[in-house]
Chain A
Amino acid sequence: MVHKDLAEFEDKLPLKLLQEIEELAPAAKLKKIAKKVLEEYEAAKIDAGEAVGLVSAESIGEPGTQMTLNTFHFAGVAEMNVTMGLPRIIEILDGRKSIKTPNMEIYLKSPYNKGKDIREIALRVKETSLGDVAKEFSLNIGDLTIDVVLDEATVKLVDATFDEIAKAVEKGLTGVSVKRSGNVLTLKLKEKDETKGLNELYRVKERAKDVYVKGVKGVTQVLPVKRQEEFIIITAGSNLKKVFELDFVDTDRTVTNDIHEIRDLFGIEAARQAIIDELFKVIETQGLNVDIRHIMLVADTMTAGGEIKGITRYGVVSEKASVLARASFETPIKHVINASLKGEVDKLNSVVENVMLNQTGPLGTGLPRLVAKREE
């Protein structure tokens, strides 16, 4: 409930604003101040018939022409290679499921972020495969087995045990039985086919190198970096869900640049914010200046349906009501034929269709209609 002096503004101003007025303004002048605020609020609103979408498109598109094509970001040698510039913008706006360079910034909880043993901590995040911890792969042609000699030091470094590795290999490598003696794993083909036994063994050896044993799946590279006063871990490859299960990770601040992952984990509102942040980051690093509200509008349209939809003919454009508008974007024949099969009706309610017909659209000076009706 708001103050009684502000009651009349309740349906005119947002609640948050009213609360702020009540909090900050002297009680005697509440009404006067609210009136002034309302005036400003109304003035700041966008007029009916303003082409916000097109202005946003121009405001993002025009600086886009000035962007350096294909810039890769190397802020010092100790940074990771991240797609930036125009390719990244296209990637975000298209709503791509798999992005070129997924990466995370992992913040750590208090004792861990001081920099002590930071390399070891980072290595626990990195995905480790059998090839990384093995010292030697030797083929035993006689009885068709492979002996994998594990390197004790590396196994210790990634915080794993021999048993753990044996189990992981058994799970990850199908059609093979695993036996362990000391630091040697013996892989044996379950099915024996004499004709192709040796070839198969070779293939298994190659597959075994890539078998996952420890760490976070999908994280191919880790890099500890000092940010201000603390150490964080930058990764190539992203798997936020698994990272959050690690006890030393500060889940409040850890982020990924994979928007779809954010949507799956936190929901569409977070994804919207992620789109805004990621787009703004690129535009900012290019030294360009785009009003955040244009980006917000784009993020809103992309996420309005609860799903991330790209600005493509499969995404946002496919939802347009007008056949002509869809046809004028891409693949016109497909749209016209499908519309004719379904008997679609174009109500000519938007701008593009009306430009095609050379009529005034519902926009700017074309918006007002004659209200008075002639007497019959």
Chain B
Amino acid sequence: MSEVYLNGVFAGTVDTGSSFTDKLRQDRRAGLLSGEMNVFFDQNMDQVYVETRRGRCRRPLIVVTNGMPALTDKHVKQLQKGESSWSDLINQGVVEFLDAGEEENALIAFSDEELTPEHTHLEISPIAMLGVVTSLIPYGDFIQSARLIIGSRNLKQSIGLYAANYPVRMDMDVSLLHYPQKPLVTTEMHDLSEYNAHPSGQNIVVAIMCYKGYNMEDAVIINKGSIERGFGRSTYFRPAVSSELRYSGGLMDTIGIPDKDVKGYKTEDDYRLLEDDGIVYTEAKVGEEDVVIGKTSPPRFLSNLEEYSLASNIRRESSVSLRHGEEGVVDFVVLTENEEGNKLIQVRLRDQRIPEVGDKFVSRHGQKGVVGIIVPEANMPFTSKGVIPDLLFTPHGITSRMTVSHMIELIAGKTCALSGRYVDGTTFSGEPEEAIRKELCELGFNEKGTETLYNGMTGEQFDVRIFVGNMYYLKLKHMVANKIHSRARGPIQLLTRQPTEGRAKEGGLRLGEMEKDTFVAHGASLLLKERFDSDRTIVPVCEGCGILAIHDAFKDKRYCPICGENVEISDIELSYAFKLILDEFKSLGIYPRLILKSKY
């Protein structure tokens, strides 16, 4: 007696679980049951689980009976001729999808050579166990699995041609590579996924060597000449959006150049790029804080007496301008309506991004690095044939990470460049390393891929031979221009008078609790005080009652709210945060009394 569960709910019992399971599978292959149904027999618990729900991860396998795969040459020929299709194979029970549960009951062979009568399924291709992106990485069977995952993650972040209709799209935060290239070392997946139609990297010459230490700790050195020839050049798009909102009382925003008497009016210079409709013209060069869309809004609080007394209804400035440190060119302007029927203006800004120190580059093997220095071509090392590498990668990055595929790609890429053909580096079935080495040797190069290099600055020959070859490199969307941040003085928070937080608000870099401790541990009291002076304030304190006194700047008089004018009032220096906590105590009905004493 075996229990049967349908989608996790007890459905009934059957005499023998195994034969019931077999029957279900036969019916599924015969087309009597849905191909989306999976069944799993748990021998230990003597339970059968039938699953038809959505959300199960399933993968296709070739059915095997008595050691013979159901897929025959006849099927293959029909497929090639286009006489049958994938769904035909499923309907005929030649191929079926297994979920995680049913996989437990299956014995899957990697290749048809190792098939035995015990096997139930045959792998269509070994790369089927990798995802689409992961199988884009060449020689994935020569790399740590962790690095392979990092490599596939990097691929997703690489800049390429993200959409063919990009000129008419308003995407947030996207980049476009100017000169994408097909990779020299390919995999089967490059053809299957049509990656070659929209590649996201470039083939460059890589030398694995150190050079003045500028590529230590995962940095890379880039040839300035390569950049000038277009390596890693990309465009960054960001839209500025604004809409004319309607408010209660028939009031609404107006898009246009704000009048000078508008509250919060910037300088005339800030509005110089706006046309009469209040929107910038295309191809205008805009810099930080320049207004892109001019807009005014009605006053926030109508009941405010001050606003009423002035004859004209003073409006608020609410234009969209570029953020601090941002620049670009106006690329594209769209005027439309949003869902509520309000006027919507979208302005796309474009900015050319030439590789600079701090931009992130990776190979396809999880070997990331930021640009450490850009070296003039004349100072780069060169080979005896005069080849100058585009990028110098540190040898220390390879040993501990064990990315052997990185080095195989380097040799394979070199062979490609010299022989004028593509190398297939598909995981588990790529061209063997030995063959590539042999071909490289026949092409007149050292089969190890090493070459004699000369110091670009002195012309001296290097003592060791350097590993040089061609690789496919990707530029990732993380660029310094979007991340660089510094502050000396700047905006502060209203409540605490401490500096704002975050790059977007031009914020300060916090000296936190633990950092404070290091100052204390060194006994650097005076330095610590100076660091925390950002919210320093001077407040008058009544010496009679110990509460904060009031300084009336108009009359230039000081008085205590409790003791009046005839009392000693002294100024003390405090952090504003502490003044705030005193106020909070007062609001709780606690009387915080300051007892003053001369410091000296």
Given known pairs A336-B590, A340-B591, the reply for A360 and B529 (CB within 8 Å) is yes
Query: Are B524 and A365 in contact, with the CB atoms below 8 A?
Result: yes
Measured in the bound complex, the distance between the Cα atoms of B519 and A58 in whole Å is 12
Contacts of A356 in B (CB 8 A): 575, 577-578, 581
Nearest CB to that of A361 among chain B residues? B525
Measured in the bound complex, the distance between the Cα atoms of B532 and A66 in whole Å is 30
Given known pairs A345-B595, A370-B600, the reply for A357 and B517 (CB within 8 Å) is no
> For the complex, is A98 an interface residue (Cβ under 8 Å from B)?
no
> For the complex, is B150 an interface residue (Cβ under 8 Å from A)?
no
Measured in the bound complex, the distance between the Cα atoms of B521 and A259 in whole Å is 30
Contacts of B533 in A (CB 8 A): 358
Contacts of A49 in B (CB 8 A): 523
A334-374 vs B, CB cutoff 8 Å, 1 = contact: the mask equals: 00110010000100000100011111110111110110000
> For the complex, is A54 an interface residue (Cβ under 8 Å from B)?
yes
Query: Are B520 and A51 in contact, with the CB atoms below 8 A?
Result: yes
> For the complex, is A55 an interface residue (Cβ under 8 Å from B)?
yes
Q: Which of A358, A360, A361, A363 contacts B574 (CB 8 A)?
A: A358
> For the complex, is B110 an interface residue (Cβ under 8 Å from A)?
no
Residues of B494-542 at the interface with A, using a CB-CB cut-off of 8 Å, are 516-518, 520-529, 532-533, 535-536
Q: How far is the CB of B466 from chain A (nearest CB, A)?
A: 38
Q: Which of B517, B524, B574, B590 contacts A364 (CB 8 A)?
A: B524
Measured in the bound complex, the distance between the Cα atoms of B522 and A364 in whole Å is 7
Measured in the bound complex, the distance between the Cα atoms of B16 and A370 in whole Å is 95
Q: How far is the CB of B43 from chain A (nearest CB, A)?
A: 33
Q: Which of A54, A336, A361, A367 contacts B517 (CB 8 A)?
A: A54
Given known pairs A336-B585, A340-B590, A370-B600, the reply for A358 and B575 (CB within 8 Å) is yes
Measured in the bound complex, the distance between the Cα atoms of B520 and A364 in whole Å is 8
Query: Are B578 and A363 in contact, with the CB atoms below 8 A?
Result: no
Residues of B437-469 at the interface with A, using a CB-CB cut-off of 8 Å, are none
> For the complex, is A136 an interface residue (Cβ under 8 Å from B)?
no
Q: How far is the CB of A294 from chain B (nearest CB, A)?
A: 12
Given known pairs A345-B595, A364-B524, A370-B600, the reply for A358 and B517 (CB within 8 Å) is no
> For the complex, is A206 an interface residue (Cβ under 8 Å from B)?
no
Q: Which of B520, B525, B536 contacts A54 (CB 8 A)?
A: B520
Contacts of B578 in A (CB 8 A): 356-358
Nearest CB to that of A362 among chain B residues? B525
Residue among A50, A336, A367 with max Cβ neighbours from chain B (10 Å) = A336
Given known pairs A336-B585, A355-B516, A358-B575, the reply for A54 and B590 (CB within 8 Å) is no
Main secondary structure of the interface of B (DSSP, over half): helix
Contacts of A357 in B (CB 8 A): 574-575, 578
Query: Are A365 and B517 in contact, with the CB atoms below 8 A?
Result: no
Query: Are B525 and A360 in contact, with the CB atoms below 8 A?
Result: yes
Query: Are A365 and B525 in contact, with the CB atoms below 8 A?
Result: yes
Q: Which of B525, B536, B575, B595 contacts A366 (CB 8 A)?
A: B525
Contacts of B574 in A (CB 8 A): 357-358
Contacts of B520 in A (CB 8 A): 51, 54, 351, 355, 363-364
Q: Which of A364, A369, A370 contacts B525 (CB 8 A)?
A: A364
Q: How far is the CB of B537 from chain A (nearest CB, A)?
A: 9
Query: Are B521 and A365 in contact, with the CB atoms below 8 A?
Result: no
Q: How far is the CB of B522 from chain A (nearest CB, A)?
A: 7
Q: How many B residues face the partner with a CB closer than 8 A? A: 29
Measured in the bound complex, the distance between the Cα atoms of B525 and A367 in whole Å is 8
Residues of A148-171 at the interface with B, using a CB-CB cut-off of 8 Å, are none
Q: How far is the CB of B389 from chain A (nearest CB, A)?
A: 40
Given known pairs A54-B521, A358-B536, the reply for A365 and B590 (CB within 8 Å) is no
Measured in the bound complex, the distance between the Cα atoms of B520 and A277 in whole Å is 29
Measured in the bound complex, the distance between the Cα atoms of B600 and A370 in whole Å is 6
Q: How far is the CB of B548 from chain A (nearest CB, A)?
A: 14
Residue among B516, B517, B524 with max Cβ neighbours from chain A (10 Å) = B517
Contacts of A361 in B (CB 8 A): 525
Contacts of B573 in A (CB 8 A): 358-359
Measured in the bound complex, the distance between the Cα atoms of B517 and A51 in whole Å is 10
B391-414 vs A, CB cutoff 8 Å, 1 = contact: the mask equals: 000000000000000000000000
Nearest CB to that of A351 among chain B residues? B520
Q: How far is the CB of B6 from chain A (nearest CB, A)?
A: 41
Measured in the bound complex, the distance between the Cα atoms of B202 and A21 in whole Å is 77
Q: Which of A51, A54, A358, A370 contacts B529 (CB 8 A)?
A: A358
Q: Which of B516, B523, B600 contacts A365 (CB 8 A)?
A: B523
Contacts of B585 in A (CB 8 A): 336, 340
Given known pairs A336-B585, A358-B574, the reply for A363 and B590 (CB within 8 Å) is no
Contacts of A360 in B (CB 8 A): 525-526, 528-529
Nearest CB to that of A327 among chain B residues? B581
Q: Which of B521, B524, B588 contacts A58 (CB 8 A)?
A: B521
Residues of A10-45 at the interface with B, using a CB-CB cut-off of 8 Å, are none
Contacts of A351 in B (CB 8 A): 520
Measured in the bound complex, the distance between the Cα atoms of B517 and A57 in whole Å is 10
Measured in the bound complex, the distance between the Cα atoms of B528 and A351 in whole Å is 11
Contacts of A363 in B (CB 8 A): 520, 523, 525
Contacts of A336 in B (CB 8 A): 585, 588, 590
Contacts of A345 in B (CB 8 A): 595
Contacts of B577 in A (CB 8 A): 356
B560-584 vs A, CB cutoff 8 Å, 1 = contact: the mask equals: 0000000000000111011001000
Q: How far is the CB of B520 from chain A (nearest CB, A)?
A: 5
Measured in the bound complex, the distance between the Cα atoms of B348 and A218 in whole Å is 76
Measured in the bound complex, the distance between the Cα atoms of B523 and A367 in whole Å is 9
Contacts of B518 in A (CB 8 A): 58
Measured in the bound complex, the distance between the Cα atoms of B581 and A340 in whole Å is 14
Residue among B516, B520, B532, B573 with max Cβ neighbours from chain A (10 Å) = B520
Contacts of A337 in B (CB 8 A): 590
Q: Which of A55, A340, A358, A370 contacts B532 (CB 8 A)?
A: A358
Query: Are A355 and B521 in contact, with the CB atoms below 8 A?
Result: no
Measured in the bound complex, the distance between the Cα atoms of B528 and A359 in whole Å is 9
Query: Are A365 and B536 in contact, with the CB atoms below 8 A?
Result: no
Nearest CB to that of B590 among chain A residues? A340
Contacts of B529 in A (CB 8 A): 358-360, 366
Measured in the bound complex, the distance between the Cα atoms of B523 and A51 in whole Å is 7
Contacts of A50 in B (CB 8 A): 523
Residue among B516, B521, B527 with max Cβ neighbours from chain A (10 Å) = B521
Contacts of A364 in B (CB 8 A): 520, 522-525
Contacts of B525 in A (CB 8 A): 360-361, 363-367
Q: Report which A residues bind B (CB closer than 8 A).
A: 49-51, 54-55, 57-58, 336-337, 340, 345, 351, 355-361, 363-367, 369-370
**CB<8 Å pairs between A and B, sample of 7:** A50-B523, A54-B521, A345-B595, A357-B578, A358-B535, A365-B526, A366-B529
Q: Report which B residues bind A (CB closer than 8 A).
A: 516-518, 520-529, 532-533, 535-536, 573-575, 577-578, 581, 585, 588, 590-591, 595, 600
Closest 5 CB pairs of A and B: A364-B523, A366-B525, A358-B575, A340-B590, A360-B525
